[in-house]
Amino acid sequence: MEKKLQELKMRLLEISDLNNASAVLNWDQTTYMPSGGAAARGRQMSTLARIAHEKFVDPAVGKLLDDLQSYADSLPYDHDDASLIRVTRRNYDQQTKVPSTLLAAFFQHSAESYQVWAKARPENDYTAVAPYLQKTVDYSRQIAECFPGYDHIADPLIDFSDQDMKAESVRALFAELRQALIPLVKSITAQTEVDDNCLHQPYPENKQLAFGQEVIKAYGYDFNRGRQDKTHHPYMTKFSLGDVRITTRVKENDLSEALFSTLHESGHAMYEQGIDMSYDGMPLGNGTSSGIHESQSRLWENQVGRSRVFWQHYYPQLQATFPEQLASVSLDTFYRAINKVQRSLIRTDADEVTYNLHVMIRFDLELALLEGSLSVADLPEAWHARYEQDLGLRAPDHRDGVLQDVHWYGGLVGGAFQGYTLGNIMSALFFDQALKAHPNIPTELGQGQFGTLHAWLQQNIYQHGSKFTANELIERVTGAPLTIQPYINYLHTKYGELYKL
């Protein structure tokens, strides 16, 4: 058994090396690569991805997993070896059930679709992408059908990124949340608009970056095992547990852009940096689901980084960094500006309160596309109708309507959006639980100290990597299944106070 386990680990490590090498290439492509490198780089990354995939779906891996099953069954569920075998088995089944010819055809299509979208969006040309989107819907259905026994055709696709979640359970959570959000948005937006001009002044880039880095160092992001660079779209990437990087983008006339994306990505990165080092290079050495991952980024961005206590400590420092811009702006004005709620058309610019409405719209529309109850031709109008209904707005064009997010044009239709809102819901759940365990956390945040909160997350979430599914993790931490109540309470308390509701 020991020899077989060693062989499995050797194979998995080799596959992880290939994937991480590809991640380095991707990081380089989005940070420093000259544009002339683009064509070869795309090919290099797809070569590495193909070899890694072939090595993983090798029947020899399946045989090793079969042989090791009785050993896994003899161990406690949360034993490292049992968990490694369980999680690898799940990944193996997932990747071998989809025929590699179908997968290859889909990736090829997806790359073309992305190219067409990248050109069509600035040109506001939905007709150009519609045939590609139709094919993507067809491929998404075909891939879902490789996993028979589902209740809803989207279930297998949702399961890829948020294991154990189903269309029905997500729909139920979202319906409950929507009921609470719509009246909240209404009563907030009925008031006079908050003035956030203080954020829109000239803020030199180097000072913005330095300030954000000071904050995340205090949070507990380890710069000896990470770094920050600039990209077009902020993200977190990992080459090993000893090298977890983040990127950001800076707008010199918008203080919130770089700052909050830095806090957000540091949350993703601290999660990965906190995983048990012995899982490095193994399937256990990754965050467990997109919802859990997003909960960690949102927690540090919002529950901490947009809280009043946090800024009671940091605002004087921010004022000292930008005296010309902020010396005469009060803490209260600044706090209101960074938490301004407004109806808007663009998901990625949306505030905490309206953000989830954007996600729900996409989630419902993609389910309808997969079910076949909505056609690709009718999608733009369905988009407008839902925006009018939920946010009272209609995009002037497709660019800021149905063409705004890359997800449907560079990946599957289905499964890519629910994680954002699940993450918001879970962030409040976990933060609540940390406060119950350590009621002194808010006092510490007000002193710029994050050690207790970071240690609680490390202990309860980070260290486990993928050992537990999201639902298991939530059960372990809270003793109950996922509930939206802490999130609703959080929004009502915070925005009730801010907008005197």
Looking at residues 450 to 479 of the shown chain, list those that interact with Zn ion (rule: CB under 5 A).
none
Pick the stretch among 292-300, 450-458, 468-476, 485-493 that binds Zn ion (CB under 5 A): 292-300
What is the size of the binding site for Zn ion (CB under 5 A)?
A: 1
Our answer to whether residue 265 is catalytic in this structure is yes
Question: How does strand 243-248 pair with strand 228-230?
Answer: parallel
Least distance between Zn ion and beta carbon 404 (Å): 17
- Identity of the residue, 234 or 281, whose beta carbon is nearer to Zn ion in the bound complex: 234
Whether the Cβ atoms of residue 452 and residue 458 lie closer than 8 Å to each other: no
Each residue 371-410 as x (binds Zn ion by CB under 5 A) or -, in order, gives ----------------------------------------
Q: Of 7, 54, 145, 265, which residue is the catalytic one?
A: 265
Token pair recorded at residue 189: 């937006």
Q: In a 10 Å sphere around its CB, with 0-12 CB exposed, 13-18 middle and 19+ buried, how is residue 49 labelled? A: middle
Give 85: exposed, middle or buried? Use CB within 10 Å, 0-12, 13-18, 19+.
buried
Angle at 289 between CA 472 and CA 153, to 5 degrees: 95
Comparing CB distances to Zn ion, the nearer of 156 and 287 is: 287
Angle at 207 between CA 300 and CA 227, to 5 degrees: 55
State both tokens at 334.
């600044």
Burial code (b: 16+ CB inside 10 Å, e: under 16) for 249-282 equals ebeeeebbbbbbbbbbbbbbbbbbbbbbeebbbb
Closest distance between Zn ion and the C-beta of residue 293, in Å?
A: 7
Q: Which amino acid is at 120?
A: A
Instruction: Taking each helix axis as running N to C, give the angle between helix 352-371 and helix 379-391, from 0 to 180 degrees, rounded to the nearest 10.
Output: 150
Three-state SS for 312? helix
Q: Among residues 16 and 297, whose Cβ is nearest to Zn ion?
A: 297
Of residues 82 and 359, the one with the C-beta less far from Zn ion:
359
Residues of span 36-95 touching Zn ion by CB under 5 A: none
Rounded Cα gap, residues 167 and 491, in angstroms: 25
Choices 158-166, 290-298, 360-368, 408-416; region in contact with Zn ion by CB under 5 A? 290-298
Helix (H) or strand (E) holding 290: helix 290-298
- Answer for which of 297, 339, 433, 469 binds Zn ion (CB under 5 A) is 297
Specify the stretch interacting with Zn ion by CB under 5 A; choose among 240-248, 289-297, 337-345, 409-417.
289-297
Which of these ranges, 83-91, 108-116, 208-216, 291-299, lies near Zn ion under the rule CB under 5 A?
Answer: 291-299
Minimum Å gap between C-beta 143 and Zn ion is 24
Closest CB 466 distance from Zn ion, rounded Å: 17
- For residues 291 and 239, give the distance between their C-alpha atoms in angstroms, rounded to a whole number: 21
Stretch that binds Zn ion, among 74-82, 295-303, 381-389, 482-490 (CB under 5 A): 295-303
Decide: helix, strand or coil at residue 452. Answer: helix
Residue range at the interface with Zn ion (CB under 5 A); choices 284-292, 294-302, 387-395, 474-482: 294-302
Closest CB to Zn ion among 226 and 281?
226
Q: How far apart are CB 351 and Zn ion at their closest, in Å?
A: 16
Residues 102-161 close enough to bind Zn ion by CB under 5 A: none
Minimum distance from residue 36 beta carbon to Zn ion (Å): 31
Q: What is the CA radius of gyration of the chain?
A: 23
Q: Residue 110 or residue 297: which is nearer to Zn ion going by CB?
A: 297
**Closest approach of Zn ion to the CB of residue 372, in Å:** 31
Determine if 296 is a binding residue for Zn ion (CB under 5 A). Answer: no
Residues in a beta bridge with 240: 243
CB of 297 to Zn ion, least distance (A): 4
CB of 272 to Zn ion, least distance (A): 12
Q: At what angle do helices 331-338 and 308-321 cross, to 10 degrees?
A: 110
Position of minimal CB gap to Zn ion: 297
Closest CA to 300 of 154, 153, 458: 458
The token pair at 67 is 């042989």
Give me the least distance between CB of 294 and Zn ion, in Å please: 5
Q: In the complex with Zn ion, which residue's Cβ is closer, 141 or 264?
A: 264
DSSP characters for 162-220? STT--HHHHHHHHHHHHHHHHHHHHHHHTSPPP--GGGSS---HHHHHHHHHHHHHHHT
* CB nearer to Zn ion: pick between 297 and 303: 297
Task: Between 297 and 424, name the residue whose CB sits nearer to Zn ion.
Answer: 297
Which residue number, 16 or 290, has a Cβ lying nearer to Zn ion?
A: 290
With contact defined as beta carbons under 8 Å apart, do 474 and 168 qualify? no
C-beta neighbour count of 23 within 10 angstroms: 18
Segment near Zn ion (CB under 5 A), from 219-227, 296-304, 320-328, 346-354? 296-304
Interatomic CA distance for residues 491 and 182, integer angstroms: 12
| Length of the chain counted residue by residue | 501
Three-state secondary-structure class, residue 301: helix
* Residues labelled as active-site residues: 265
**Site residues for Zn ion per CB under 5 A:** 297
